[in-house]
Amino acid sequence: MTVSVSTPSRPSASRLHTRSPSDGGGGTQRRIVPSPVGPLTVEAAGDVLTRLAMGQDAADHAAGVAEAADSGVAGASAGVLDDAAAQLGAYFAGRLTRFDLPLATDGTAFQRIVWAVLREVPYGETVSYGELAVLVGRPGAARAVGSANARNPIALIVPCHRVIGAGGTLTGYAYGIERKRWLIDHEARHRPA
């Protein structure tokens, strides 16, 4: 099913729900979170989530991090990582339909607009690359939207898996079409009536 998302063509910075990390000198902290689609690596800097990777990307980051995944994380990073792990658990259990986490994304202005609009695509629904291009105020820029989508640093929480090809085809997911299919099917099963 394809949906039209009601959002301004150019979200304001406040609609991005992102902010710069206030690191406090602790650097980036990571945690491995188990999931039905394989291990997820979530990263935080200070009090904001900066990355979520899955699959081989997560495995690459997990090397050398697994032993310290839940230890040595202090302060604000521990809080946001705890919140992310809890919300991801609730999402995979079918109890959470919208993440509420402080995010910091590093990308171009256009990429940040695409990612902000992605966060407005409702749980259990999809939007095509062309429709997303219209929503960000760039009709005809489906390829640019696809490129921004592929560079999404916070997969799942910024739901790039909800973007599909024209005609409903599953295309272009950095973490594999099978994961994309699983996530779309999972949301369809748990979508509120």
Cα–Cα distance for residue pair 125/128, rounded to 1 Å: 10
Instruction: Give Cα 145 to chain centroid, integer Å.
Output: 15
What are the phi and psi torsion angles at 81 (to 5°)?
Answer: -70, -40
Annotated catalytic residue within 160, 163, 164, 184: 160
Greatest alpha-carbon pair distance for the chain in Å reads 48
Alpha helices in 35-74 (DSSP H): 56-62
Structure tokens at 111: 């990429």
Structure tokens at 58: 């997560």
C-alpha distances (whole Å) from 27 to each of 7, 72, 79, 173 are: 35, 12, 15, 29
Give the DSSP letter of residue 97.
S
Annotation says 160 is catalytic = yes
The letter for the amino acid at 97 is T
Q: Known catalytic residues?
A: 160
